[in-house]
Structure 1
Amino acid sequence: MKDISLVRFLPMVPRVPFIKVRMIAAVLSVLAIIASVVLFSTKGLNYGIDFTGGTVIELDTGADPDMDLIRSVMSDLGYPGATVQGIEPAAGQPNPHNYVRVGIPLQSEEGEAGAQAQQLAMVAVTEGLEAEIGAFEIRNQESVGSQVSGELRQKGLMAVGIALLLVLAYIWFRFEWQFGLGAVMALFHDVILTIGVFSLTQIEFNLSIIAAILTIVGYSLNDTVIVYDRIRENLRKFKKMPLPEVLNVSINDTLSRTIITSLTTLLALLALYILGGSGLRGFAFAMIWGVFVGTYSSIFVASPLLLLLKLKRGANTGGEVATF
């Protein structure tokens, strides 16, 4: 049988000059980070009910719902960014059609006045939807107050921060401080660019996206550690080779593994994005973006940063000062 594996189509000893183009990559990364910060400062994020508070109602329309019509009605009612998601019924349910989850943003702070405002908004939404799509049944209703949503937002930010600190400690312990700082700076790069693309696209930012960001951190870190481990190995192996050349050789040594891992991960994520429904689409999009940006940062950010941080051949990397 003919071997058609991807490895056969990749060079056995690739020698792509990644380090030579590091300045171009650095300019692109800096511009992307600046653009992400500007977008976040001006447009912000399209926070979901998890972070803003509000009410989510689950509707049974009795037939396949017209999602575009429901979104149009919500926009006409003054909620253009409201959450509208289709939900497939569980196996064995008598209804073959999808249900719909509709999010109504929090109208005002908690209290009697806030509760009344939220109730009036819900009445207006249900009456407006009924006038356009016909009668429906409210199967479930959930409310998230402003205090709870604020705590979720704070804990989500804390989770990302703690993850980055633990990464710094782990890499510092396993390698040297230059490796730890380089890995964390690359992860900051990935997180900021992910927030920037969500600010640009205005895809709903909810708890599932926080989970995706933490997964991106883990994926990018894994790729970076593979490259760093080969760099440390080659620093011991090629004691007289200049550091830029060692970095380039190490990146090329792991290139086949990086490409194959990224492609197989993307295949699964594309299937999730296409077939997973609207409820998982934001998560899948974040992960697809994370695979691209994580692969890019492990090659063009994490490794070249070792040059900027003046990496030396210490106890863990061969015992001699690296030549630049």
Structure 2
Amino acid sequence: MIPTKAAIIDMGTNTFHLVLVELYGNRFETLYKEKVPVKIGQGGINQNFIHPDAKKRALHTLKHFKHLIDGEGIANIFAFATSAVRNADNGVNFVEEIKEKFQIYVNVIDGEEEAQMIYEGIRLSGSLNGETYLMMDIGGGSVEFIIGNQQQVLWKQSFEIGGQRMLDLFHGHDPILQDEVDKLTAYLTEKLEPLKHAIEDYRPAGLVGASGTFDTLTDIYFAALHEKKGRNQQVFELPKTEFEKIAGKLLTLTKEERLKIPGMIPMRVDMIVVASCLIKYILTLLPVDTLICSNFALKEGAIAKLMGKDSLHSVFSR
């Protein structure tokens, strides 16, 4: 079978991802991948605005990505943007500028579609079995929650409470103050009322966290064990007791101290504190012994979507 080459650009609020793949029907091979901490939400996300500095970083990164895509001779580009762009008053102009400068058409996806693609990515990772799970992906702008199993989504919702938003609203001191944690928890209790009811209705048996923060938490856990994560492994387990130890430490350290934790990466060091507070809150709604962590998330969901198409024309149409 002759593979189809494709480029996936995930323009997240915190991180831009590029994945170059070859598609073979129901499987894919990764040719190249890269992530850049563009932080497009920094300086304006809670004002629904893409700050000029953030736009400059984004365009610089997209120019670099386009150079790599052209170098591989790839014509099929599937680019999508999420919370920061879809909520920004200048988001439409930003997308038009990208199209004009780089001939890249950016699909600005809504929260429902984002949640569905995250589910597809988690399902592709092999994280799910016959049980019903609560799945979550903590982005910089939004957080997606999905309840479902290997066969279907039973419930899903996107909440505009992502890491950059929580960071700007609540993490005013370093280390974070207990008062700020309490205010964040009260905020989450109010915002996530629909999730609480969904958990009561569907009674998921487990929790799956996708990519991002969960990748870093498992990196820290494995580093503490002096073990390396398997390169081709997509699913990892993090005992709740170990998560609680890591989160407890994160909440008491300064940024400089957090950077020294083995397994920590600089691009996660700011948001991981508020993200850990969110996970701690979710564990009060769904007490589990183990957190399942999926390496696959939104961008792999996009790949799954591409593999499910009889013709890629509709996906890559301009």
- Please classify the TM superposition score into its range, dividing by the shorter chain length: under 0.3
Higher strand proportion (structure 1 or 2): 2
Question: What TM-score do you get using the length of structure 2 for normalisation?
Answer: 0.28
Q: Which has the higher contact order (CA 8 A, sep 6+)?
A: 1
Question: What TM-score do you get using the length of structure 1 for normalisation?
Answer: 0.27
Higher helix proportion (structure 1 or 2): 1
